[in-house]
A and B are shown apart, each in its own frame.
Chain A
Amino acid sequence: MTPGGIKTRKSHGEIAGETRRIRIIQALSRKNWVHNVAELVINRMERQGWKPYQIDAIRCFADDFRHGYLKEKPCIFTSAFVPNELIYGLGGVPFLPEAASGFAASFGFALESLTACESLWYSPDLCSFHRAGVGASVLKLAPKPAAVVVSSQLCDGGKRSLFQISQYHDCPFYILDVPYTHSALALDRLAKQIEEAAIGLERDVPDLSRGHIDKAFANSNVARNCYLDLCKLRTNTPSPWRGSEALNYVVLFLWAWGSPWLAKFYQSLRDHAEDIIKSGDYPVPNEQFRLAWLNLRPYYSPKLFNYLEDTHQVSVAFEEFSYMYWDPLDAGDPYMSLAKKIMANPGWGPIERRLDVIDKIVREFSIDGVVQFAQWGCRQYNGAASILSDYLRKKGVPFLNLDGDGVDVRNSGEAQSITRLGAFQELLESQKIKNSR
């Protein structure tokens, strides 16, 4: 399904950004003993008292990375909103270059990845989650994909950058062209595309077979139930979980539906939140305000959130990307079920759908103010900022559009961001005083 049979692969010379430490990681990530040592380290972390949900999350990624880097299972690259139950259900493991960009930023490798990508003619004006994803892939920081599956939602840059990755690695590319408006016909059309992609993957990629779909769907549904329990607990005031941490685990929310580890992770996290509420040992104990956070966060520095949560006792009570938007999956009708999941994404289609979800978050999580992290180059969210601002203003909910970049530190002014967040906190404070009069 390579569109038009276009071949953009060229013989690259030296890729910019391939430093010594990158070459070391390239080599180490593909060694069996490194993954064995990683397992020992995780076991030790568990004994040292890391929280069970943290261990489960690390194990989830360690498991997928092991299979992907060591080629134990076919590694399928997917864009952020492809339902990965499809990939686990075929017996593969997913790899999300956009989500991996967040990892690269957290571990300090983003700049090399961005440089590598820019050397391939990518403009620095594009979203850094895509640029760093392409860069990490061409630098071989990511495993080699056996195939690439993308959906046309939400980001246009996503499908094009993943197409480039498929060309670079000379592997099959499948695109799910998601209809913009809802109808029975649209669902049928999408379900048929998903089925065709599944058949194509089974045909084109050795070791993939549709025999695991029931299991992946069951894993997804169990995880979903635990996750809904967790969401209910997060409505508690004060918040039982730090929003800064929740925004880190959004990566898992995008990645691991269908993995057996995800259900385990959300069970542990639900138990953790329950314990926090019972003990009263809240992470932001003197919670002054509760924010809803839209879009992602800067992954290279914790300063913004330390400033909010610790200095000002302001919680990020819930995140737009953590919103559960789909119904339980039906293994009896798998492709239609996945089509419904994709189409239910509130970020796709008319803006009213997204506004409705934000409104629900504001009400259910007792939100005092909404912050949209205006990711550099993010067309679909930044393009709607004025509509969002007007909508929330009419509802009397303070709104801050915070310019920044989640991956590329060069596009962020941390001191400026802190001033904006500080002023927003002061605005909430003055409104609270005014309302109490």
Chain B
Amino acid sequence: MRADSYVVGIDVGSSATKGVLLLDGQLVSTFMLPTGTDLNATAGECIEHLLQSEGLTEKDLMYIVSTGYGRAQVEAADRTITEITCHGRGAKALAPRAGLVIDIGGQDSKVIRLDEDGMVADFVMNDKCAAGTGRFLEVMADRLETSLMDFGRMWRAAKKPAQISSTCTVFAESEVISLLSGGMAPCAIIRGLCDAVADRLLGMVHRVGLAPDVVMTGGVSKNAGVRLSLEKKLALKVTVPDLSQFAGAYGGAIIGYELARREYAQGGLR
């Protein structure tokens, strides 16, 4: 395989599409844009941006792996791989000591236990419900007229969390309205919401088995409030790598690079 072999991993999520470009297995650039209604077009736009940023064309690309809920729609992909495998590999690359990955995306959440080689040993996903996902938090942030990025600051400002008993997005929203009308401070509600998400994840974590090095990936990893709730409940430090939102795409690109090398060695790629 040539030394200038570029590989792309593309993660078509429900909220955002993320792309990672590798050169000879090393990360070169990343790009993220909102996922539109045409998943294939969004993926194409993402790939185009990655190529342009390095002055490349499609001909320079050796391999493309797509992942995420829209993975099957990416026509340019040489291979589709599930987000569970990709997040596991990406998280291990971003945080080499990772033993357990908690990925919270727009429409689902997953907990992945890795073996010593960084391969998926076990995993569990949330059930068919938006509770505990990025969408849940977005709805609540809208209702509280605040930004997701502000959750960390507000979490810290809360003396104690409000009790959010419902796990359903719609019911939780009406519970938030009741709490607000009862005079509860928004920061306490936000801490309560983050605790509710963490509680749901806690059950999933213990299903696959807690490992000491916990890494958080996906869009919600950038929400400091949820991370703080998780750390408190797990009594562990949770690592959030800088490129945590790109873990799926990065994992896909790494696997793509390995597959390209294998196929090249077998004479399938030139």
- Interface set of A (CB-CB < 8 Å, partner B): 386, 389, 393, 398, 401, 403, 411-413, 415-416, 419-420, 422-423, 426-427, 430-431, 434
Residue on B nearest A433 in the bound complex, by CB = B119
| Docked pose: A393 CA to B124 CA in angstroms | 14
B82 at the interface (CB under 8 A from A): yes
Instruction: Give the chain A neighbours of B82 by CB distance below 8 A.
Output: 419, 422-423, 426
B108 at the interface (CB under 8 A from A): yes
Instruction: Give the chain A neighbours of B125 by CB distance below 8 A.
Output: 416, 419-420
CB of B69 within 8 A of CB of A413, answer no
| Docked pose: A401 CA to B125 CA in angstroms | 10
Q: Nearest 7 A-B pairs (CB), nearest first?
A: A423-B84, A423-B82, A413-B128, A422-B82, A426-B85, A430-B119, A427-B120
Instruction: Give the chain B neighbours of A416 by CB distance below 8 A.
Output: 108, 125, 128
* In the complex with contacts A403-B128, A426-B85, A389-B207 CB distance below 8 A: yes
Interface string of B172-184 (1 = CB under 8 A from A): 0000000000000
CB of B128 within 8 A of CB of A412, answer yes
Chain A CB within 10 Å — which of B115, B123, B128 has the most?
Answer: B128
Interface string of B79-121 (1 = CB under 8 A from A): 0011111000000000000000000000010000001010111
| Docked pose: A411 CA to B82 CA in angstroms | 22
Residue on B nearest A399 in the bound complex, by CB = B122
| Docked pose: A434 CA to B115 CA in angstroms | 11
CB of B117 within 8 A of CB of A434, answer yes
Instruction: Give the chain A neighbours of B127 by CB distance below 8 A.
Output: 403
Give the shortest distance, in Å, between A436 (CB) and chain B (any CB): 13
Instruction: Give the chain A neighbours of B117 by CB distance below 8 A.
Output: 434
Tally of chain B residues near chain A (CB < 8 A): 19
Of the A-B pairs whose beta carbons lie under 8 Å apart in the complex, a sample of 14, sorted by A's number, is A386-B207, A389-B207, A393-B122, A403-B128, A411-B128, A416-B108, A420-B84, A420-B125, A422-B82, A423-B83, A423-B84, A426-B82, A431-B119, A434-B119
CB of B83 within 8 A of CB of A419, answer yes
- Interface set of B (CB-CB < 8 Å, partner A): 69, 81-85, 108, 115, 117, 119-125, 127-128, 207
Give the shortest distance, in Å, between A39 (CB) and chain B (any CB): 43
CB of A430 within 8 A of CB of B120, answer yes
Give the shortest distance, in Å, between B268 (CB) and chain A (any CB): 18
CB of B122 within 8 A of CB of A419, answer no
Give the shortest distance, in Å, between B265 (CB) and chain A (any CB): 15
Chain A CB within 10 Å — which of B83, B85, B117, B124 has the most?
Answer: B85
| Docked pose: A431 CA to B122 CA in angstroms | 11
CB of A426 within 8 A of CB of B84, answer yes
| Docked pose: A215 CA to B121 CA in angstroms | 52
Q: Which of B69, B81, B207 contacts A426 (CB 8 A)?
A: B81
Sample of 6 more A-B contacts, CB < 8 Å, known A398-B122, A430-B85:
A416-B128, A419-B83, A420-B84, A426-B85, A427-B119, A431-B119
CB of A423 within 8 A of CB of B108, answer no
Give the shortest distance, in Å, between A310 (CB) and chain B (any CB): 14
Residue on B nearest A402 in the bound complex, by CB = B125
Instruction: Give the chain A neighbours of B115 by CB distance below 8 A.
Output: 434
CB of B128 within 8 A of CB of A423, answer no
Instruction: Give the chain B neighbours of A412 by CB distance below 8 A.
Output: 128
Instruction: Give the chain A neighbours of B128 by CB distance below 8 A.
Output: 403, 411-413, 416
Give the shortest distance, in Å, between B122 (CB) and chain A (any CB): 7
Instruction: Give the chain B neighbours of A415 by CB distance below 8 A.
Output: 69
Give the shortest distance, in Å, between A403 (CB) and chain B (any CB): 5
Residue on A nearest B128 in the bound complex, by CB = A413
Give the shortest distance, in Å, between A424 (CB) and chain B (any CB): 8
Q: Which of A411, A423, A431 contacts B123 (CB 8 A)?
A: A423
| Docked pose: A282 CA to B27 CA in angstroms | 44
Give the shortest distance, in Å, between B187 (CB) and chain A (any CB): 34
Give the shortest distance, in Å, between B169 (CB) and chain A (any CB): 15
Instruction: Give the chain B neighbours of A386 by CB distance below 8 A.
Output: 207
